[in-house]
Structure 1
Amino acid sequence: MRRPAQGAAAGPFSSRSFRLYFTGQLVSNTGSWFQNLAISLVVLQETGSATALALVTIAQFAPVFLFAPLAGWLADTVPIRRILMVTSGGSVAVAVGLIEVLGRPEISVPWLLGWLVLAGSFQGVERIAAQAFVYEMVGPDLLKAGAVMTSMYVSAARSIGPGLAGLAFAAFGPVPCLGINAVSYAAVVIAVLLIRPADLHQRQVSRGGGEKIRLRRLPVFPLLASLLLVNVVVMVSGMNMNVVITALVTETHGGGAEHLGLAHALNAVGAVAGGLFLARLRSLSFATLTPVCLIFAVALAANALAPDLVWFMTLAPVLGLGIGLFQGTLTASAQSLVPPAAIGRMMSLVTMGTFGSIPLGALVSGALIDVASARLPFLVGSLACLVSSAAVLIIVRRLGCSGTAEG
């Protein structure tokens, strides 16, 4: 890694558009935790079935994976402000539909899952459009730092959302939690409306039937393919935090719900710290994944080998640091390796790898926990990150380039 540039961390926030959008997304992502927690608890209370809870996860994430190619094409073809207005409005409508379902005397799980599929569809398109929107808000010089910052509002929301959602659910029940989520989408709508089109940077996207940029024909395609492969390997083996942290806290270390919430909050704090560090670097590249994967490997192993709950909590921010470094580096590298007009399609491939890996990774982690212990998935993830670190180093040396993102 290169030495941080003094003052670079504030770079993207010098853009009024980015400040507005970051704030709106932070509010919206925090509100999403109210919906996610409420639905998970209600389904578990109504059915008592872990399978039903798994179906909730599948209903939310499967559409993100399936609609990613379409979302990428839309982000490179349709004005992104228009896309974000539609997805935010659609998410509000879905939240209202979920309120109606949960407000019934008898809750219909099939109807609930159907609304969640719609929610996942809107969120999938919104996630990819938001990534492509970074370039338009901050321009090429601040793209790296801006891309890193987009992963930070997710981590920041994760640090405060679950705790607030738990308090709201205990005090008011599920329906008000969904109402809070619906209102939170207004923050994105307001932010997008306040962004002045004249302040945005043009990406020269193909809206007039121009020739489409094909990722396979780009000189950096070997790096793109390698980045996507590393993403899948790390996601499947080392990113199943909900499953593994829950098992480690409750089964291995004998903690309770309050300890689990604290572990996730500390984890998110570390992830934010990792994003802040990356944002201050002068340059960021595909080659940066070599030290980043190494750091993540050490963090996973340290958390797996923590002897008791106190040590596990102490090391939780270190694990979050590894997560923040990996996600920020991957996002920034993916966006900076391709021409601006192809950012949407590139991020759709990253999103497919990320969300397509979630169900598989959860199954693998669950099987490892059942066969051995909750420590084993993190140790396997550590080994996979070590292999990925070495593989990136070999690829960079053989190709003779690093895929550097400046700014």
Structure 2
Amino acid sequence: MKSVSPWAPFRQRAFAVLWIATVVSNTGTAMHSLGSGWLMTTLTPDPLMVALVQAATMGPLLLLALPSGALADILNRQRLLLTVNGLMALAAATLAGLVALGWMSATLLLFFVFLLGTGAAFIAPAWQAIVPQLVPRETLGAAIALNSTGINVARAIGPALAGVLIVGGGLAAPFFVNSLSFLVIVAALLWWRPAAQPASALPVEGLGEAIVNGLRYALHSAPLRATLVRGAAFFLFASAYWGLLPLIARTSLGGSAQLYGVLLGCVGVGAVLGAVLLSWVKPRLGADRTVALGTLGTALVLAVFSLIANPYAGALASLLAGVSWIFALSSLQLSAQTALPNWVRARGLSVFMMVFAGSMALGSTLWGLIAAQLGIDAALLIAAGSALVAIPLTWPAKLGQGEGLDLAPSMHWPAPLVLADLPQERGPVMTTIEYRIDPADVPAFLTLMREQAQARRRSGAVQWWIMEDAAAPGHYVETFVEGSWVAHLRHHERVAGADRVIQEQIRALHRGDAPPLVRHLLAPPVV
């Protein structure tokens, strides 16, 4: 694998401007995270309530990832991002005002954390889906790593600033600054002029249909399924660090808000270092071993915090946590990105984010409960051991399977021969394709048809089967069903280059002068 400079995406002006704006916005978010975590420790010392701050942050992404991803695929992504960032600025300003007035409670804090998490849930799929529009494909991995680095640069800056602001201006100060940071991203989005995307003549999918189609694609995409398995195995145990860190700083290490900020800052510095190292490590180890290395590092971090109650050891462990996090997260995100074509990119990424958020929210709650019952040290050790066990258990799920696939629309299907006035909403539609296969080629044919079945389902087929004519051995009929005529027309637009390769291999096995016979059968119109 050829190495790409980790800074190559900055040659694209749009990427550079939006990256800087997101660093500013994420710095505000990091300040909010420290402020809300520390504020909760002042409102209640209950470990579960402290851990629920992390759960309330990630919970909306779990609940809303699919509809937000669908909206990002069927609406203008730039307008969606502008609207949601503006609303989040208003919510953050309201939170700051309530804290300043002394009207905040633990329950109300969780509500506002959940509200801002809801905004983040609508931003995340759209934001990640526009990254391939900003950089060439060969630098996509570096761009993803830089985005993750940007988040962690913000984590390095934000907590330190928040700690200073809390000491100098009170607990409301970081929340006020966070509200202003959203306006920076709004300004950058207003400046950005994205290139026009190819427009379809077909009507836009409805929200419910878009969600179902996104789930169907994820279910039948082997590269994405493998990424989800590996992601869940990492995030579930890494969440012990993020969920319990405020309590570790305050209780285990006996520190203040400044120490908590220092630990988060060390994570950010480690992530920057990890992004630089990643351009050297990943080409040599590959995605699978890089994620395994990140998991090993995370397990070591959890063990250090469990066994050594020393702020300096905690700072070093947090540096390693940042390196490990960037190794795993960037590799997983690239694997997800390359598994998806543009028409379903935000929805597929939203499924990845749903697994991420679900694992983090579930893990934070689980480790908070275990810490409440057995103590923080025991919870961290259990998480470390479980992370190590997960490596061999999930190893068969290989990452990066989509990197060599051509997922762009091939547009090689001819237009179906039908009546010109056929209503697009008419359906369901059954498509049949007849093949003549030599007996010696049947095993290869059926193997290819299994791959074809997954491709048909990814592109919209709700049913698929292959049957052989009992009166004519070697005469096979492939059948798949779609919900409407417009759904079938969308299938024509979505057939990928990788699907075309499979179809050409199947066509090569067909015997006879004429090509396979294709028929489109529709349910009778309602009279």
Query: In the alignment, which residue of structure 1 is the partner of 2:115?
Result: 118
Report if the CA contact (8 A) 2:223-2:335 is conserved.
no
Q: CA deviation at 1:348?
A: 0.6
For residues 291-332 of structure 1, the C-alpha deviation after alignment (integer angstroms, 9 at most, x for no partner) is 422342145226514645244433432222111100111111
Shift of residue 89, structure 1, vs aligned partner:
0.7
Which amino acid counterpart does residue 354 of structure 2 have in structure 1? M
Q: Is the 8 A contact 1:234 1:381 kept in 2?
A: no
By relative contact order (CA 8 Å, sep 6+), the higher-ranking structure is: 1
1:38 paired residue number: 35
* Contact 1:95 1:179 survives alignment (8 Å): yes
Shift of 1:153: 1.3
Equivalent-residue separation in structure 1 for 2:240 and 2:199 (angstroms): 37
The CA distance in 1 between the partners of 2:105 and 2:254, in whole Å, is 34
Find the partner of 2:358 among 353, 356, 359.
Answer: 356
In structure 2, what is the Cα distance between the partners aligned to 1:262 and 1:67? Answer: 32
The Cα of 1:15 is off from its aligned counterpart by 0.9
2:101 equivalent in structure 1: 104
Contact residue 298 and residue 382 of structure 1 kept, 8 A? no
Query: Which residue identity lines up with residue 270 of structure 1 in the other structure?
Result: G
Q: Residue in 2 aligned with 1:270?
A: 270
Equivalent residue pairs, number: 397
For residue 69 of structure 1, the aligned residue among 66, 69, 87 is: 66
Q: Is 14-23 or 298-307 further displaced after alignment?
A: 298-307
Distance 1:93 1:351, change over 3 A: same
Computing the radius of gyration from Cα coordinates, the structure with the larger value is 2
* CA distance in structure 1 between the partners assigned to 2:380 and 2:83 by the alignment: 39
Higher mean alpha-carbon deviation, 215-224 vs 22-31, is at: 215-224
Q: Residue 155 of structure 1 contacts residue 272 of structure 1 at CA under 8 Å; is this kept in 2?
A: yes
**2:204 aligns with one of 199, 203, 209:** 209
Q: Provide the C-alpha distance between the structure 1 equivalents of 2:240 and 2:52, rounded to a whole number of angstroms.
A: 17
What is the DSSP-based 3-state SS (H/G/I as helix, E as strand, rest coil) of the residue aligned with 2:338?
Answer: helix
In 2: Cα distance, 1:84 partner to 1:90 partner: 10
| SS, match of residue 288 in structure 1 | helix
The whole-number CA distance in structure 1 between the counterparts of 2:194 and 2:137 is: 17
Cα deviation for residue 50 of structure 1 reads: 5.3
Which stretch of structure 1 is more off in the superposition, 382-391 or 328-337? Answer: 382-391
Between the aligned partners of 1:313 and 1:43, the Cα distance in structure 2 is 22
Question: Helix, strand or coil for the counterpart of 2:204?
Answer: coil
AA aligned to 1:338 is: L
Give the equivalent residue in structure 2 for 1:78: 75
Task: Kindly indicate whether the alpha-carbon contact (under 8 Å) linking 2:246 and 2:260 is maintained by their aligned counterparts in 1.
Answer: yes
| Alpha-carbon spacing, 1:169–1:404, altered in 2? closer, same or farther (3 Å) | same
Distance in 2, Cα, partners of 1:356 & 1:142: 29
SS in 1 for 2:356: helix
Q: How does 1:196-275 map to 2 (within 5 A)?
A: 196-198=193-195, 202=197, 208-209=203-204, 216=216, 221-246=221-246, 248=248, 251-252=251-252, 257-275=257-275
CA distance in 2, matches of 1:230, 1:128: 19
Map 1:32-181 to 2 at 5 A: 32-46=29-43, 53=50, 56-104=53-101, 106-107=103-104, 112-181=109-178
Match of 2:337 among 335, 338, 348: 335
CA distance in 2, matches of 1:21, 1:51: 37
SS at match of 2:172: helix
Shift of 1:161: 0.5
What's the offset of the Cα at 1:271?
1.7
Offset of residue 347 of structure 1: 1.3
Q: Give the corresponding residue for 1:390.
A: 392
Q: What one-letter code is carried by the residue in structure 2 that aligns with 1:96? A: A
For 1:179 and 1:362, the matched residues in 2 are separated by: 27
> Which residue, out of 163, 180, 183, partners 2:180?
183
CA contact (8 A) 1:18 1:138 kept: yes
* 1:186-241 Cα deviation digits (max 9, x unpaired): 1101111121223x7x3778984379765645897233222212222221222322
Aligned-residue sequence identity (percent) comes to 24
User: TM (normalized to structure 1)?
Assistant: 0.84
Q: Which runs of 5+ in 2 are unaligned?
A: 406-527
- How much does 1:63 deviate? 2.0
The offset of 1:33, in angstroms, is 2.8
Q: Report how far residue 112 of structure 1 moved.
A: 4.9
Cα drift, residue 22 of structure 1: 0.5
Give, in whole Å, the separation in 2 of the partners of 1:383 and 1:276.
Answer: 28
Q: Are 1:34 and 1:162, in contact at CA under 8 Å, matched by a contact in 2?
A: yes
Of 318-327 and 54-63, the range deviating more from structure 2: 54-63
C-alpha contact (below 8 Å) 1:333/1:405 kept by paired residues: no
Using the alignment, how far apart are the partners of 1:403 and 1:274 within structure 2?
A: 24
Structure 1 residues 145 and 284: alpha-carbon distance in aligned structure 2, compared to 1, 3 A threshold: farther
- CA gap of 1:73–1:95, structure 2 versus 1, over 3 A, is same
Task: For residue 103 of structure 1, report the CA deviation from its aligned partner.
Answer: 4.0
Once residues 201 and 154 of structure 2 are traced to their aligned partners in structure 1, the CA distance between those partners, rounded to angstroms, is 34
TM-score, with structure 2 as normaliser: 0.66
1:375–1:41 Cα change, 3 Å = closer
Aligned-pair Cα RMSD in Å: 3.4
Supply the distance in 2 between the matched residues of 1:136 and 1:365 (Cα, whole angstroms): 39
Q: Distance in 2 between matches of 1:236 and 1:303?
A: 13
In the alignment, the residues of structure 1 paired with residue 77 and residue 14 of structure 2 have an alpha-carbon distance, to the nearest angstrom, of 13
SS at match of 1:394: coil
CA contact (8 A) 2:162 2:261 kept: no
Q: Counting helix residues as a fraction of each chain, which structure ranks higher?
A: 1
Look up the equivalent residue of 1:84 and give its one-letter code. Answer: L
**Contact 1:158 1:265 (8 Å CA) reproduced:** yes
- Residues 1:24 and 2:21 are matched in the alignment: yes
Q: How far, CA to CA, are the matches of 2:70 and 2:290 in structure 1?
A: 33
**How many angstroms apart in 2 are the aligned matches of 1:205 and 1:114?**
40
- Larger mean Cα displacement after TM superposition, 316-325 or 84-93: 316-325
